[in-house]
Amino acid sequence: MNKEYYLSMKNITKKFGDVVANNNINFNVKGGEIHALLGENGAGKSTLMNMLSGIYIPDGGSIFIHGREARFKSPTDAIKSGVGMIYQHFKLIESMTAIQNILLGNKRKIFLNYDQELKKIQKIQDKYGFDVDLNKYVYDMSVGERENLEILKVLCRGADILILDEPTAVFTPQETKKLFDLMNRMKKEGCSIIFITHKLDEVMEVADSITILRKGESVETVKKEDTTPKELVDKMIGYHVDLAIKRSNTTIGKTILKVSDLNLINDANIPVLKNINFEIHEGEVVGIAGISGCGQKELCEAIAGVTKISSGKIEFEGKDITCKDSAKLAKENIGISFVPEDRIGMGLVGS
């Protein structure tokens, strides 16, 4: 492993009014290293990485890239210094092809030599072992393909310090394995990878070093082989946490929710849900499994009255609630509460 620090963030402080988001944080990443950044929601991970990627300007402290102090005033400055961030929500234009997304925003030249740029991209693909169809439109890509395209895009812009923000949040196990293989290849080629995740099993599988943040401060940096998931949780929370899940014995009772022949066609006239049938009983936990885009979100929205279904029937405690929207469900005290995946953009709908 290259022992040179590609990145050093020293005494980084960031405030938003009276709220101290980051307080004198120190964070160092070596070349050829996968460095996990852990912390609870609100611990300061995103704020720290937003300063590294040029979105925020620190109120105090210094950032060093390859030993030189860097002062980023915009994401463009960060990219020029070799820092590339791959966000959890992709920054791709779906109506464009992969290569068009890669070349978009390239301001090095007024006119680009397409064949020359294509050779450069293919060379990087071969170097790291990417499998991206450059002529494929983004709207036809799977989640894993889009993630690879985002990574390829920042590598083509010269990045050797990559920030991956919750990259496996909606991945299948197979897609996660492919991403980890790619990360290890990039690591062998000398890249530094900052891996932000809440999945400790993934941290223990792929990370070399781990930095823990808590309440806006850096707690400790440890080697993976010198710690355990239990110790990491305790350091993130600040006290001992029992990770054991105690299952209670319950008696399955009467049917609470019944969904019959539910169909949903979206605004583009594409069937999203087809003939869905299931029941939920008292004292029962029902899991809905599937990769991103398979209809779980739409099913939950339909039950909560956020989305109007095309056909079928939804019953709650024997009462037909098929045509009731979320406002009517709340008004009639129907005991359905919906916590959506996107709690910021959508908010909460509950009785």
User: How far is the CA of 197 from the CAs of 37, 49, 95, 212, in angstroms?
Assistant: 7, 13, 29, 11
Distance CA 304, CA 156 (A): 44
- 3-state SS class at 204: helix
What mean pLDDT value characterizes the chain?
Answer: 88
pLDDT one-digit tens code per residue, 149-162: 999 999 998 899 99
Q: Is the pLDDT of residue 228 over 90?
A: yes
Evaluated on CA atoms 342, 195, 107, 142, the torsion sign reads negative
Q: Is the pLDDT of residue 1 over 60?
A: no
Q: Which of 179-188, 258-267, 291-300 has the lowest mean pLDDT?
A: 291-300
Tell me the per-residue pLDDT of 78-114, one tens digit each, with 9 for 90 and over: 999 999 998 877 888 888 999 999 988 665 555 667 7
Nearest CA among 292, 251, 296, 305 for reference residue 278: 296
Of the pLDDT bands very low, low, confident and very high (cuts 50, 70, 90), residue 242 is: confident
Predicted TM-score (pTM) of this structure: 0.75
**281 φ, ψ (degrees, to nearest 5):** -110, 165
- Which of the residue ranges 44-48, 105-109, 190-194 would you say has the lowest mean pLDDT? 105-109
Q: Per-residue pLDDT for 172 more than 90?
A: no
Tell which residue, 63, 58, 73, has the closest CA to residue 20: 58
Mean pLDDT value of segment 44-48: 92
Q: Which residue segments constitute the domains of the chain, with CATH numbers given?
A: 5-237 (3.40.50.300), 255-331 (3.40.50.300)
Instruction: Please tell me which of 2-16, 86-100, 254-268 the model is most confident about, judged by mean pLDDT.
Output: 254-268
Pairwise CA distance, residues 66 & 24, whole Å = 21
pLDDT above 60 for 3: no
Q: How far is CA 97 from CA 79, 91, 105, 114, 328, in A?
A: 22, 13, 14, 14, 43
Of residues 111 and 14, which shows the higher confidence score?
14
CA terminus-to-terminus distance, the chain: 55
- Cβ atoms of 152 and 124 within 8 Å: the answer is yes
Per DSSP, 59 falls in state S
Mean of pLDDT values over 193-221: 94
pLDDT surpassing 90 at residue 62: yes
Q: Which whole-number Å values give the CA distances from 340 to 167, 172, 192, 296, 343, in the listed order?
A: 19, 20, 34, 11, 6
